[in-house]
Structure formats: C-alpha cells, structure tokens
Amino acid sequence: MMYSHKTENPRCLLYKRGVTPYLEALEWQRSLLAERVQNPQLEDVLILLEHPSVYTLGQGATLDFLKFDPQQTDYEVHRIERGGEVTYHCPGQLVGYPILNLRRHQQDLHWYLRQLEEVLILLLSIYGLQGERVAGFTGVWVEGKKVAAIGIKVSRWITMHGFALNVCPNMRGFQQIVPCGIADKPVASLAEWLPDIHIEQVREDVALSFAKVFGVHFLETENCGK
C-alpha cells in the first residue's frame, strides 16, 4: 500500500454535497485552486458530490469516442482541462474532487494517481470487493469491469478534478460513449455486486479511506458547500 509517509496530518476541508450542476462544481474547483496557487498555506480540500447527467472530455480527448454529434444533441457536454478521454457523470455516481497541495504529500503525479486508486481499492475492501488496477490504464476495476475513472489536472503542484465511482447510477448513459476510450473493457457499478448499496454510506466510507491513504485530518464543513 502506497500511503503517505508524512509524519504530520495536514488539515483538509471536507465538503459533502448532493447533486450539483457540473459547471458550478467546475467553477468552485477553479476558484479553490487559484486561491491555493496564490496562497499555498491554505488547507487541502476534498469535495464529494454527484452530478446531473453530463459528458466530459479531457483537454486532449478525441470526439471519436462519442456515439453522438456534440453539436447536435440534447446531452450536456463539456471539454475541460483534465487529462483522459470522455466520461459520463450522473446521479448515483460519487465524484471526488481533491484540491491538494502535493508539496505537503509527494511531488509526483504517478504517485498521486496511484494514491487515488488506493483510496478506491481500500473503499471496495470495506464492502468485500477486490478492487484491481489494470496495467497501462488509470482507474479501478472489479472482476474485469471498470467501476471508477480518474482524471486530474495539476497546477503548481495544486490538484483539481479527481475520481468518479459508479455506486448505483443508471448505467444507460455509458452506452452513448466509449468510456475513457477503452472499447474492450466494460464498465459497471457497485450495485451489480451489492444491489442494496446506498451512496450516502459510500460517501462516508470514501472520506475515511481518503483520510487514511493521504494521512489528512478532516475539518468537516457545512454540507451545503460553497
């Protein structure tokens, strides 16, 4: 396990929200990042929320992985500054946005990606599921099916964007894309193995796993967030 080896426990603000419009959350992340670029002493942040149905493409993503014309569609589609290809967000999927100063942790993007995977693998173990990495890809799989996608942006060692864990969403939206540009590996949700799973409990357990892996001390804020 690749947990942080820092002896101190940095403070981290924890925001837990429900379904939040994508562009609202994006603006919030950008504001938090800009504040921390200007003042690196500000606390780390973890935002846990859900989004209405929306498709997002990484800054270098190809449109070939969309099965519809983004110029002629009722779907909400945004190209953003994270890495990676197209992904889908919707209610029932837990999205985590860590705004971390990696100078407090480790200035290594490969390490950071593996840590995010470790958070989710640890979370899955709580529910008796074996989370796995797949060589050459970023994310977490269960029994060969991808249950979590990861895409990040880092500016001056401050992170934004993060991970999306399929807890109990309606998976039909994934049929309109090649998720993460990986055509030969199916996507799934935790509800496939745990039909009675609730996102509220998973949100609490993800926070616990994150605190353990990154060695942070949460200062929980009002759930309304901003």
Q: How far apart are CA 141 and CA 199, in angstroms?
A: 18
Domains located in the chain, CATH noted? 11-220 (3.30.930.10)
Is pLDDT at 197 greater than 70 in this prediction?
A: yes
For the stretch 23-56, pLDDT in tens is 999 999 999 999 999 999 999 999 999 999 999 9
State yes or no: is 90 an active-site residue.
no
One-letter amino acid of 199: I
For the stretch 199-221, pLDDT in tens is 999 999 999 999 999 999 999 87
One-letter amino acid of 103: R
The length of the chain, given as a count of residues:
226
Task: Report the pLDDT value the prediction gives residue 215, as an integer from 0 to 100.
Answer: 96
Catalytic residue among 12, 90, 168, 180: 180
Task: Report the pLDDT value the prediction gives residue 224, as an integer from 0 to 100.
Answer: 47
Is pLDDT at 7 greater than 50 in this prediction?
A: no
Task: Report the pLDDT value the prediction gives residue 182, as an integer from 0 to 100.
Answer: 66
CB–CB of 94/165 below 8 Å?
Answer: yes
- pTM recorded for the entire structure: 0.92
